[in-house]
Every structure is written in C-alpha cells, then in structure tokens.
Chain A
Amino acid sequence: MQMLFTGFEALPVIGVIALGLGGIIVIQGLSLLPQFGQGQLIYTILVIVITRELGPILAAFIVFARSGTAITTEIGNMVINREIEAFIATGINPISYLVVPRFLGVTLSMMLLNVYFNVFGLLGSFFIAQLFQPLPFSQYAAGLFEAISAADLASTMLKSLIFGALIATVSTFYGFRVERSSTEIPQNAIRSIGVGFTLLIVANGLLTLVYYL
C-alpha cells in the first residue's frame, strides 16, 4: 500500500520533472558546448546531473513533499485519535506495525523512482536533442553508455537508498512527536519537511564528497 501511494502515484510528476530536466540540459548543452568543440561532453553532463546529482535529490524532494508530509500527518492524527495508544493497549508495537512497513515502502519506492527518473530524464533529453541535432538512438545510447560508469550507478542507487531511509525516518519521527493537540500536526509536518530537506541536502553533499575521495 505504501509503495502504491509513494511510488506508483508519484510516477506522473516524477516523469514530467525528469523529462523537463533532461530537455533543459540538452538545450543548454547543445547550444553552448559545440562552440568550444566539446559537444561530446553533453553525455557526461547528463550522467553527472541526472544520474549522479539531481535525479536522486529531486526524486527525494518530491517523495518527501508528497509522502513524507502525508506520513507525518497520518501518524500525528493517529496519536491525537488515541490509535497509537490502542495499538500499545492491544500489545501491537506501533513501531513494527506502522514504521517498518512505511520505512520499507518509502525506501524501496525511492530507489525505483530514482531509476524511473533516470530513464525518463535520459530519454527526455534524447527526444529534445532531436529538435536541435537529429541523431540515431544507437549513437545517443552509445554516447551515454560510454559516459556512465558502474560507480555512477552505485552512487545514484546508494543515494536513493539513503534518501529513502531518511525520508521515512524523519517523517515518522515527527508524526510521533505530536502529543495532544491537532494544531501540532501541521506544525510537525512543516518541521519534518524543513529538517528533512536539510538532511537530504547535507547527505547528498557528503555522498558526493565520498564519490570523489
């Protein structure tokens, strides 16, 4: 259920953003790089921007904005409605019952959405490139495969794994921080998104640093 909500329902917005981003990179790259005789660098830039950097972080921002806040709000409401106390009274650990499925669902969805973002971003750039510099798909694909390395793929997947874990942890944590009043729910949702985005940016920076070590 969490994967349906976090993953499947986010596909349209992720697809549009990925296509747009890929298109922008190609438009800018193809208009500037050939002037310096570096037209081939477009593939490297695509891989760096879409696969290694913006793909995971943008997908993470979207997942946090949609599902992270939803999770904080849902759990906050459960606290106010005494549903969490009812789980404890029944002997059901709310962490196992509520947090673990959300953690797994969000983390797995984040990784799959990152793959989806990459596919759409790189495909989108191909279609936009046709407008400026028509080239066969085989040539485009060969250029991309030459530019992309196993380290790039490992980096993007590791980032999406860590970002997914961060989103699930922060959003559930702030949901459980709601104590008594329903006004605490939006307050904690706002806090979770502020803290979550900051942590995502810091984690992204650290992982990028590790990549270059």
Chain B
Amino acid sequence: MSSINTSTIGVQACVRLRNISVQFEDFAALKDVSVEFPLGKTTLIMGPSGCGKSTLLKVAAGLLPPDRGDVEIAGVDALRGRPRAMSEMRKNTGFVFQDAGLWQNMSLYDNLALPLEFHYPELAEGVVRRDIYAWAKRFDLVSILPLRPSTLSGGERKLISFCRAMILNPNLIFLDEPTTFVDRLGVERMLSVLREKKTAGCSMIGVTHDADLTSQLADYILVMKSGELRAFGTTSEVAKSQDPEVREILADVLNEAATYDGDILDLLEPNGDLF
C-alpha cells in the first residue's frame, strides 16, 4: 500500500476507499489504494494519462466494482449496500462522464427528465419541465432539447451531461474531465455552477487537466502515477511538495513548463502569473 498519508484526520469523509485494487486483464489500473475524500470539500485527482484517475473516480462513485477493497459513499457500503440506501445515496450524487454517457435512444429533454421522474415520481409534469428548462436556459441549450445526443457536438453533449448530473441538486458530485470539448463560455457557466455548489458545501471529487478548474475549486489534490497515490493533501501542501516526481506530474498535468525550481503553487492559485 502507498506509504503517503491518505486519511484526512479530523475531517469527515464523503467517500472512503480501502485497499482498492482494479485489474484490467494483465494491467493493474489501481494498486491497493486507500483514501478518504473530505466531506464538503473539492478534491481533484491529477496524474498523467492512463495512471488510473478515471478508474479511481468510478470506483469512488460506486460505478466500477473493484477486484479487491471496500467503498463507502456517504456512509453507505457501495458494494453491498441495501437497494433503498443505495437509491437514497444516488439521489444525492451526480456524475459528469468524460464522454457524456447520455442515453442515446432518448431526447435530451428525456435525458434530463428521467432522473427527476425516477426519484420524484410525485412531481407534476410542469415542475419537471420547469426544472429542465431552467438548467437548459442557464447553458443556452433550450433549442436543442428535443434532439437526440447523436446529433450534438461533443461540447453540447458534455453540457447536457453536466446538467443531468446537477438536476437532482446533489450534495456529492463526481466530475470526470468535465470541461473537455467545452468552449470557453460553457466552461465559465460550468465553473459558475460549481462555485455555487462549493459555497453551498457540496463535496466534489474530480479528474481534470484544467488549470482554471483546479485553481478555482480545489481544496485538496490527489496525485497519482501508475495506479498508485503519490501525494494527497490540501492544495498548498501538495503544491509545495518537494517530491520532484509530484512536482513534475503537476507541471505536466497543468500543461505548464514549470521547472523543479519554480513554485507550482503559482499554477494553482488565481493570483499566480497565469491568472
């Protein structure tokens, strides 16, 4: 198991992972990973491509059962939890997929309506419609609501996926590269929603290469390499890490030519040179 401190002592956890291993055929995607994601905080997972970030996120969200280990989401055992407890937990979580994950045989309107209709069957059609239009309006997507996902651009799909994740007003949000393919305005709108969620005390766990998202949202950073955790702590702690490997990963991930001598904290804070 990784020797780094992965528990957030004194801080409640929204997701607990214990001794997680995931194997894809001969490839070990996650190697005995244990981590507790802090409640009410935003943790961003960083690392080079293929290091297991998205796999870790999916395990943390209970979407990918690990080959070994335990997953606890909002106090519910995600692998063996009772259906009612699982359903209640899902009602309070949202997941933005890297490749949108929209239901192809439904219109975008139905993609947004299904979670509401499933969890709140008592809601009147008008209320569902109002909620959907409110989200679509916020992202300027009203005109495409009757369309099916296959007719959209990657960015539009991503925005609908984002709206779907938010429509149940979750207090635990998983973000898998939410800003990829999205134009500048779309990213701004997403960030505005995420900032509101952060202020409201939502827990967020994300994978991103986006420096803006990182600087504006991250409370904690988790650095991964080759299926293992290399660093975990508050943004300042990790950014000040003296571990050259961690510094190199952060610099690479944020797509900046930081050197070992440079202060990587600059890349992560809005008042740094980049912002």
Interface residues of A (CB under 8 A from B): 77-78, 81-83, 85-93, 180
> Known pairs A83-B102, A89-B90, A91-B89. 20 more at Cβ < 8 A?
A77-B104, A78-B103, A81-B104, A82-B97, A82-B101, A83-B103, A83-B104, A86-B97, A86-B102, A87-B103, A89-B94, A89-B95, A89-B97, A89-B101, A89-B165, A91-B115, A91-B118, A92-B114, A92-B115, A180-B24
CB contacts (< 8 Å) of A92 on chain B: these are: 114-115, 118
B58 at interface by CB-CB < 8 Å = yes
How does the 8 Å CB contact mask read for B51-64 relative to A, with 1 for contact and 0 for none? 00000001001110
Contact partner of B118 (CB less than 8 A), chosen from A77, A82, A89, A90, is A90
**Would A90 and B97 count as touching, CB distance under 8 A?**
no
Known contacts A90-B114, A91-B118, A92-B114, A81 near B101 by CB under 8 Å: yes
**Would B101 and A85 count as touching, CB distance under 8 A?**
yes
Contact partner of A85 (CB less than 8 A), chosen from B63, B83, B86, is B63
Chosen A-B contacts, 24 in total, with CB atoms closer than 8 Å, are: A78-B103, A81-B102, A82-B97, A82-B100, A82-B101, A83-B101, A83-B102, A83-B104, A85-B58, A85-B95, A85-B97, A86-B97, A88-B63, A89-B63, A89-B90, A90-B90, A90-B115, A90-B118, A91-B86, A91-B89, A91-B91, A91-B115, A92-B118, A180-B24
**Would A86 and B101 count as touching, CB distance under 8 A?**
yes
CB contacts (< 8 Å) of A87 on chain B: these are: 103
Least CB distance, B107 to chain A, in whole angstroms: 14
CB contacts (< 8 Å) of B165 on chain A: these are: 89
Least CB distance, A99 to chain B, in whole angstroms: 15
Interface residues of B (CB under 8 A from A): 24, 58, 61-63, 83, 86-87, 89-91, 93-95, 97, 99-104, 114-115, 118-119, 164-165, 174
CB contacts (< 8 Å) of A82 on chain B: these are: 97, 99-101
CB contacts (< 8 Å) of A180 on chain B: these are: 24
CB contacts (< 8 Å) of B114 on chain A: these are: 90, 92
Residue of B nearest to A96 (CB): B83
Residue of A nearest to B63 (CB): A85
Residue of B nearest to A93 (CB): B83
CA distance A85 to B114 in the complex (A): 15
CB contacts (< 8 Å) of B83 on chain A: these are: 93
CA distance A90 to B90 in the complex (A): 6
CB contacts (< 8 Å) of B95 on chain A: these are: 85-86, 89
CB contacts (< 8 Å) of B101 on chain A: these are: 81-83, 85-86, 89
Residue of B nearest to A89 (CB): B95
CA distance A90 to B93 in the complex (A): 8
**Would B93 and A89 count as touching, CB distance under 8 A?**
yes
Residue of A nearest to B115 (CB): A90
CA distance A83 to B102 in the complex (A): 6
B91, B93, B95, B101: most-surrounded residue (chain A CB, <10 A): B101
Least CB distance, A30 to chain B, in whole angstroms: 50
**Would B119 and A86 count as touching, CB distance under 8 A?**
no
CA distance A180 to B89 in the complex (A): 27
Least CB distance, A86 to chain B, in whole angstroms: 4
CA distance A167 to B104 in the complex (A): 24
CB contacts (< 8 Å) of B174 on chain A: these are: 89
CA distance A23 to B93 in the complex (A): 61
